[in-house]
Amino acid sequence: MNLLDEHFHHPRNRGLIAADASGSAGDEGCGALIRIQIAFEDRVIARAAFEASGSRAAIAAGSLLTTLVTGRSWWEAAALSAPAVAGALGGAETSGVAAAPRSGGHAADTGRAADAGAAPRSASGRLIAAAAGFAVDALHAALTDAATRGTLPGIAAGAGDIVLVAMSGGVDSSAACLLEQRAGARVLGVTMRLWSAPGGAVETAASCCSPAAERDARAVCHQLGLPHLTVDCSVRFREEVVEGFAREYLSGRTPNPCTACNGSFRFPLLLELAARLGADSVATGHYARVRQAGAGPVLARAADAVKDQSYMLWGLDPGALARIRFPLGEYRKEETRALARSAGLVTSEQPESQDICFIPGGDYRIFLRDFMNQHKLPLPGRGEIVDASGLRIGFHQGYQDYTVGQRRGLGGGAPEPLYVLGTIPERNVVVAGTHAELAVRLVEMGGVNRFVPVDEGESLLVQLRYNSPPVPARLAVAGDTWKLELEEPVMGVAPGQSAVLYRGETVAAGGVIRSTDRGLPVEPA
């Protein structure tokens, strides 16, 4: 009798229990519907139970999985791969699937099998593989439930250097995970489940944190024999990041949701989870460096100037840098991909996503209109396009469709190309002007986050947009407002964007642009 027969005829854990977490996966139409429940005691899964329907394989997979995880830590359970379960159940029927030990073994012994194993040869083998996949999906849904609700126990003290690696399902975070493991750390991969508008980028395979990306992140961890958790952050993400982005845009500013997310949402939540579980630090796939200085760690640019993401990280708590790692800081992008490829990671050829993760197709205009409809906010409709003096030069269909520096949608017929200089939301007005009028020489920033001491009148480099070259600027401080006098004019700078100050390669401070010396008309001419 193989394990498929054994666990079908003797489903030892069938029937539900009083549990700390539960999760479901599958569909009867697909041949398996499985629900898993788990209860913790003394840092281990003391009890596990399941309900299954749809096929004999589904019942057997649920039975075997609950048997495997009972009495083990959630860390070990989170490393249990679908091919391991399928291999144990199907034996020769699941060709190319790594088998789990049939007695005395566990996920920790078999976790190096990839979730994306070779396809089973037979129809029954495919059914077994599907059932095993749904069983493991249900287990991970239960672990997600526990991690999200805070019922997941901490990791045993004295377990060594434990690092929580944020996994987006892309090649960069996968390589960061690999590097931390090779450095000798005990690695836990964690994916943050975010929110997207229906049909949005988070639902597409290429987007970070999509359902497909979650599966890719888990597959990488299982390839490396590592545990993986998903934490559902979708409600907070929508409230704190998505709605904040929309309201900033509707106020006439141009926010950068990635800097806001990193500083006030992503890293605080990751550090909070690490502390709750007993991990020593958090690592991500960002291209940046944490360097040791006289007064403590500082944030610095990455070795790869093209991929450097320190601009996006200006909102990090300086006091938390000692607990943050950027394994890719010394790597170039091509080296990262080659590293993932040489390790055979399933994400090694994953394309990069360029869109804002929660906006459908990257078109913020559609997103904003949907947001306004959902919140019963009136659409602005037809309004005037005016020049810098307030003289009307055309019409538009809603100020929210325009951002500073934009050329599209301003009509033709002007003696030279026109650009958006700004918007006046309360009057539904778009202000346009020439390229020369787009330039700014003075920037005021607020909400400043300082990493190192800076002096009044000091000359620093300031980066005013992601991937834009830094320019020299002289600093003047007036209360909570920092004024930057630029040594050369810069185009396309808009309130709401981020300004990040550098001393050499070190991030000195960052903040949000409040205003520039590009004036807008107060009243129509």
pTM across the whole model: 0.88
169: left (phi over 0), alpha (psi -120 to 50) or beta: left
Confidence at residue 10, expressed as pLDDT on a 0 to 100 scale: 58
Q: Please, where are the H alpha helices in 375-458? A: none
Residues paired with 422 in a beta bridge:
431
Q: What is the DSSP letter of 467?
A: T
Q: Does the active-site annotation cover 261?
A: yes
Residues facing 25 on adjacent strands: 34
Residues in the chain: 525
**Helix axis angle, 56-69 to 82-90, nearest 10°:** 120
439-516 homologous superfamily:
Translation factors (2.40.30.10)
Q: What's the half-sphere exposure (Cβ side, CA atoms, 13 Å) at 453?
A: 5
Cβ neighbours of 184 (radius 10 Å): 9
C-beta of residue 365 within 8 angstroms of C-beta of residue 373: no
Of 443, 447, 436, 437, which is closest to residue 460 (Cα–Cα)? 443
Any idea what DSSP says for residue 490? E
d(CA 196, CA 351): 20
Identify which of 397, 456, 399 has the alpha carbon closest to the alpha carbon of residue 425. 399
Token pair in block for residue 337: 């991909």
Q: Which CATH number fits domain 3-149: 3.40.1160.10, 3.40.640.10, 1.10.645.10, 3.90.1010.10?
A: 3.90.1010.10
Per-residue pLDDT of the chain (525 residues; tens, 9 = 90+): 455 555 555 565 566 666 899 999 987 666 678 999 999 998 899 999 999 988 888 899 999 999 999 999 999 999 999 999 998 887 545 434 333 332 333 333 333 333 545 555 577 778 888 889 999 999 999 999 999 999 999 987 666 789 999 999 999 999 999 999 999 999 999 999 998 766 544 444 445 556 788 999 999 999 999 999 999 999 999 999 999 999 999 999 999 999 999 999 999 999 999 999 999 999 999 999 999 887 889 999 999 999 999 999 999 999 999 999 999 999 999 999 999 999 999 999 988 876 788 886 778 888 898 889 988 988 899 999 999 999 999 999 999 999 999 998 887 777 889 999 999 999 999 999 999 999 999 999 999 999 999 998 999 999 999 989 999 999 999 888 899 999 999 998 999 999 999 999 999 999 999 999 987 776 644
pLDDT at 383: 95
What span, in angstroms and rounded, lies between the C-alpha atoms of 452 and 500?
13
Helix, strand, coil shares, percent, the chain, to 5: 35, 25, 40
Q: How far, in Å, are 58, 91, 222, 442, 498 from residue 55 at the CA level?
A: 5, 18, 26, 69, 55
Strand pairing class (21-27; 162-166) = unpaired
What are phi and psi for residue 431, nearest 5 degrees? -105, 130
Q: How far does CA 315 lie from the centroid of its chain?
A: 16
- Per-residue tokens: 445: 């920033």
Alpha-carbon span 455 to 148, nearest angstrom: 44
pLDDT at residue 36 in the model: 95
Q: How far is CA 213 from CA 129, 192, 193, 350, 360, in A?
A: 20, 10, 10, 10, 16
DSSP codes joined into one string, 48-83: EEEEEESSHHHHHHHHHHHHHHTTSBHHHHTT--HH
Q: Is 357 tagged catalytic?
A: yes
Q: Do residues 298 and 310 touch, judged by C-beta distance below 8 A?
A: no
Q: Compute CA distances 229 → 10, 142, 216, 278, 330, whole Å.
A: 30, 10, 12, 15, 27
Residues paired with residue 471 on neighbouring β-strands, in sequence order: 462
Q: What is the pLDDT of residues 128-153, one digit of tens each?
A: 888 899 999 999 999 999 999 999 99
Q: Which residues contact 257 (CB under 8 A, 6 or more apart)?
A: 241, 242, 244, 245, 356, 358
Whole-angstrom CA distances from 509 to 274, 479, 496 are 26, 15, 16
Q: In which element (H, E) is residue 305 found? A: none
Cβ contacts of 116 within 8 Å, gap of 6 or more: 219, 346
Which ranges constitute the DSSP H helices of 150-210?
171-182
Domain spanning 380-436: which superfamily?
Answer: Adenine nucleotide alpha hydrolases-like domains (2.30.30.280)
SS (H, E, C) 132-172: HHHHHHHHHHHHHHHHHHCCCCCCCCCCCCEEEEECCCCHH
Within 10 angstroms of residue 297's Cβ, the number of other Cβ atoms is: 18
pLDDT of residue 203: 44
Phi, psi of 501 (to 5 degrees): -95, 135
| Residue-range domain boundaries for the chain | 3-149, 162-361, 380-436, 439-516
How much is the pLDDT for 202?
Answer: 42
Backbone angles phi, psi at 42, to 5 degrees: 50, 45
Residues 6+ apart with CB under 8 A from 504: none
Cβ neighbours for 447, distance < 8 A, ≥ 6 positions apart: 480, 511, 512
Q: What is the pLDDT of residue 399?
A: 94
Which of 177, 208, 209, 261 is catalytic? The answer is: 261
- How far is residue 385's CA from residue 374's CA, in Å, rounded to a whole number? 27
Q: Tell me the β-bridge partners of 478.
A: 481
Is beta strand 481-490 parallel, antiparallel or unpaired with respect to 471-478?
Answer: antiparallel
pLDDT at position 97: 38
Compute and round to an integer the Cα radius of gyration of the chain.
27
CATH number for region 162-361: 3.40.50.620
Instruction: Say which residue the tokens 């947009």 belong to.
Output: 465
